[in-house]
Every structure is written in structure tokens, then in C-alpha cells.
Amino acid sequence: MARLFGTDGVRGVANKDITAELALDLSVAAAHVLGEVGAFNGHRPVAVVGRDPRASGEFLAAATVAGLASAGIDVRDAGVLPTPAIAYLVAEQDADLGAMLSASHNPMPDNGIKFFARGGHKLADDLEDRIEARLRDEWQRPTGGDVGRITPLVDGADRYVSHLLSVLPHRLEGLHVVVDAAHGAASEVAPRAFREAGAQVTVIGGEPDGLNINDGYGSTHLEHLKETVVAVGADLGIALDGDADRCLAVDATGHEVDGDQIMAILALAMKEQGVLRGDTLVATVMSNLGMIQALGGAGIKVLQTAVGDRYVLEGMKSGGFALGGEQSGHVVMLDHGTTGDGTLTGLMLASRVAATGRTLADLAGIMTHFPQVLVNVKDVDKSALEANTAVADAVRAAEGELGESGRVLLRKSGTEPVVRVMVEAADGDQARSLADRLVGVVRAELSL
């Protein structure tokens, strides 16, 4: 049976896969499991709950709040706020846990729920497994004054924006920034934060109606942002996703600045400021070789992890590093937050532009993207990938042809019978040719 929790909580179609009953049961189970492992330390526990503006989030948040309160947890309902804001508020409020109702960049019919432990950290896999195992268990229900109380956290947005502004190294006066909020959870707080930091702000994708989240706007749909930045003559544009835990950017000419470029810019800035611990950036194996080589030339090491922000976080925590992220725009700055924060990332990027007086295009030019070819080979026996000698020989041959000017990566999908073949090379034609060759070997050797 498939694990209910994925790499970022529980997700699915709202009111089909993610029901009110499931949200309530998960919340009760989370309360019991965290209580059993001593997370509440004998005191009356407190939770912070938030959501993105999806219509389904209204009833799912109500169910989550009800489940937690019925299990004896006092709930502070923060309403519509970004995922990183809820993580921050869990720590700032000294809460024992948090819950966020969101499906991030997924389309509107989807929704999801994820939990945060004390301090705003994501739950460990073993705790999620224990929560899943406890679903719908019989339990002793509190009564009378032992039931949880529910109060609105009316100043959550104020507290979050104040935090963002307090860590900004340079104000944004003189900059014109377009903010695309994806009609999502940051539609209010992101434009506000940029304005209070001193920028002139044009907002698109900032009118959520419960149905339009991620619909043609945000980090997965940059077309409107590119057009708007050029049309209004802005210095740069920032694109968030539905729950604002990721950020991509657009320079003044309308060209995309991806997560690798953003991380390179921030890594150089932090090294200059003396806050890039270990002179190391943590990134996934999907980050472009151009970024790795550019940062290496600047004396910055890149520690690569498996794909997924939780693996980036693990690498950061284990090595005590301050900056990490993904090509998709999840950027984590552990000195200022416990999870990817798109608004913070955008503010830091704009702050670097303002501090240096250089254009975003100029800053992003620190790295040159190597052509990257990615092919999903479907309907194959992915479990046989590592043991197949013909595939291993083909990979070694390709790596021999590339030398230091490229790389090869084969990895299994976590959910499908798919092997992903990725080849990077300084020459795009070579990358395509080698990828095609490897795809042929994978199909010949591993087809079901």
C-alpha cells in the first residue's frame, strides 16, 4: 500500500483524496503521536494553522482545527498565509506544532496538509509514518476544560512581514519590482513586504478568488511576468507559487532567472558578507553544472543531495550550512527560516541588486547554463537500474566522452515505473546524442 505522506505532506484532489474526514483524522493522529514522543512536555499544547486561498482550504482548515482542538490542543488560526509564514509563526509563537493546508504549485482542484514540529521544522519520516499508522484509532477524548480552544491569530501577517524586513541587508529604494503572487497565499504579504522595504511595486496574480490559484500565473507560468516587467520598465520581476515557498525571477529584459542563478547570486553575496558558513551551498543533483563550475571558481563548494527540499535541508543541517535550494526555486536560508521562502528569496535577490547597483541580468551572468537534456523513460523496471551492467557500461562510456565538460545522471522515479536520464554538456548536440544513446540502452535492458 502506498505511503500516504509524500515528500511534502499529504496531497491529492480535494474532497476526493483529501477529505474533511482525513484532515480531521490526521490532525488527531498528529496530536497523539507528538504527545507520545514528549513534544508537549506535560504542558497544554498550542498549534498554529494556516492555509492558502483555495476554496477547499476553507473546509479542510476547519476540519484540521477541529481535529486538533478535539484532541486538547489550543489552536491559533492564522488564516491565509504562505507556508514559510506558518513555519515562522510556529517558532515565533513558541507553538508545539503547526499545520498548513496547501498543494503548493499544484492546480486548484488539489489540496494537501503538512505538519510542522516545534521550531517550525518539517516532521521526520518516522513521525509521519507513526501518524499514518494511528489514523482512526480509538482514543480517550478530553472533555470540559480539557478540550482545545480556538482563537484567531490576527496579526500573523504583521509578524511575518516584520521578520522579513528585519533580516534584509539592504533596502530597496530606487527599484521597481513586479511581484507575481500566483493568486496564492502571498497575494497580500509579498507586495506589502516589497513596498515596506522601499521598492515601487507592480502586482500581478494578486487577486485570489479561491479558484484561480496558480492559474496562468506564478513560478510555473512566467509569461505574464515577463511581459509585465518589460511593459512597465521594471528592474526585475519575482514569481512565487501558490504557497510562496519558491521563487523564480525575471530580469529587466524579460529573461528568466532560475533557481540555480538565484542561488549563485545569493551564495556570492553571503560569502562577501561572511555568512556563507563553510563557503558551501547545498543543492540537488539536478542543479546545472554551470552553477557548480562558476561557484567553484569563486571559492564556493557545492554539496549535492538527492532531489527534494527535505534532502537539501538534511544536508544543510548535518553540515551546519546556511544556504541551500533547488533549481525549481526552493531556496532555504537557515539563519532566517526553516523552509523554502519565496518572498524572502525575492527580497534578498532585490536587495543584492540595490546594494550593488548592478542589473539582475549582470548578476545572473556569473554562471552560464550548460545545455541539459532530460528524458523520462517510461514502463521500465526501475528496480533493476543499479544492477544492470550494460546500463552501467553505457553511463561510463558517456562520462568518458564528456570528461570535465559535462555529466550524466540516471535516477529512478519515486512513484512511477520511470527512469530519468539526464545529460549535461557544453555542446547541446552532444548532450542530446548521448541522452538518446542512454535512453536506448535503458529501454533495451529494462523494459517491462
pLDDT, one tens digit per residue, over 400-413 is 999 988 999 998 88
Specify which residues 116 forms β-bridges with.
98, 122
pLDDT attached to residue 406: 92
Specify which residues 97 forms β-bridges with.
47, 117
What confidence tens digit (pLDDT) does each residue in 175-195 have? 999 999 999 999 999 999 999
Judged against a pLDDT cut of 80, whether residue 371 lies above it is answered with yes
Of residues 368, 376, 364, the one with CA closest to residue 256: 364
Judged against a pLDDT cut of 80, whether residue 266 lies above it is answered with yes
Instruction: Please report, rounded to a whole number, the percentage of residues in the chain having pLDDT higher than 90.
Output: 91
CA–CA gap between residue 132 and residue 25 (Å, rounded): 9
Question: In this structure, are residues 432 and 390 in contact, taking their beta carbons and an 8 Å threshold?
Answer: no
The catalytic residues are 104
Q: How many CB atoms lie within 10 A of CB 403?
A: 9
| Neighbour-count burial for 163-193, b at 16+ CB within 10 Å, e otherwise | bbeeebebbbeebbbbbbbbbbbbbbbbbbb
3-class secondary-structure state, position 424: strand
pLDDT attached to residue 72: 97
399 φ, ψ (degrees, to nearest 5):
-65, -35
Of residues 205, 17, 213, the one with CA closest to residue 102: 213
**Given pLDDT bands bounded at 50, 70 and 90, which one contains residue 415?**
low
| Average pLDDT rounded to a whole number, residues 158-163 | 98
What confidence tens digit (pLDDT) does each residue in 196-242 have? 999 999 999 999 999 999 999 999 999 999 999 999 999 999 999 99
* Residue type (1 letter), 65: V
